[in-house]
Amino acid sequence: MTPAQPRHPGEPVLTLVLIAGTLLVGREALRISGFSGPSSPGFGPLAMVAVLLAGLAVELIRTLRHRPAEPEPVAVRLRRLAAAVLPPPVAGAIPLLLLYLVGLEVVGFVPASFLFLAISIALLLRGRSLRARLLLAGTVAAGTVAVVRFLFQELFQVLLP
């Protein structure tokens, strides 16, 4: 039995974004071989697009049906959305992660990883003074980079980014 599902904050918007993305993929799938036959290379992608659109339509109807009885002010809705999807640690981690990837290409693995680890750990650690956090974060970051470099490059013979 399918239990009653909650409606997540901003779910109709996400469903609409997924539908838009699926339509874009559908247009690309249509270019492969059109509707030329079930064993053609384009049939699989088109079939999956159809499954996705059907599923997402069901989800959209469900989420729209589960609207709150009394509409909440936009500010409250945005706050709930931010808390559910982008709480401060995640909102900070995603740009930091992207910067890390850029750093890997610009300065290489060791400095980029050290900085990423040190900054993330220092920001995430709580209940300590700034100096203690920086010291611990720096030590852990240096230790981790050294171990990863030795373990993977020397022992596993894996090239590092």
Partner 1 sequence: METALGYFLMSWLDPFLLLLVAVGTLAGIYIGAIPGLSVTMAVSILISFTYAWDTNEALALMVGIYMGGVYGGSRTAILLNIPGAPAAIATALDGYPLAKLGEAGRAIGVTTVVSFLGGFVGIAALALGAPLVAEISLMFAPRDYMLLGIMGLLLVASLAGESLVKGVVAGAIGMLISMIGLDTMSAQPRLTFGSSALLGGVSYVAVMIGMFGIAEALAQLHGYAAPAVKQKVDKIVPSLSTVLRHLPLTLRASAIGVWIGALPGAGGDIAALMAYDHAKRSVKKPSRPFGQGAYEGLVAPEAANNAAVGGAFIPMLTLGIPGDAVTAVIIAALFIHGLRPGPNLMVDTPHLFWFTVGNLTLANIFLLVFGLTGIRLFAKIVEVPKAILLPIVVVLSVVGAYAINNNPADVWWAVGFGIFGYVLKVYGYQLGPVVLGVILGPIVEANFRRTMIAVRESWAGFALELVSHPITLVLTIGILLSILRGTPLWPKLVGMLRGRAVDASR
The residues that touch partner 1, with contacts defined as CB under 8 A, are 1-3, 5-6, 8, 11, 14, 18, 25, 28-29, 32-33, 37-39, 41-45, 48-49, 51-52, 55-56, 58-59, 62, 84-85, 87, 89-90, 93-94, 97-98, 100-101, 104-105, 109, 113, 116-117, 120-121, 124-126, 140, 144-145, 148, 152, 156-161
- Please say which residue, 47 or 76, places its beta carbon nearer to partner 1: 47
Positive/negative CA dihedral, 137, 140, 144, 145 = positive
- Please say which residue, 37 or 71, places its beta carbon nearer to partner 1: 37
For the bound state, the minimum distance from the C-beta of residue 68 to partner 1, rounded and expressed in Å, comes to 17
- Please say which residue, 70 or 127, places its beta carbon nearer to partner 1: 127
Please say whether the beta carbons of 12 and 64 come within 8 A.
yes
Q: How far is CA 157 from CA 146, 148, 154, in A?
A: 15, 11, 5
Residue 161: its H or E element: none
Q: How many CB atoms lie within 10 A of CB 55?
A: 13
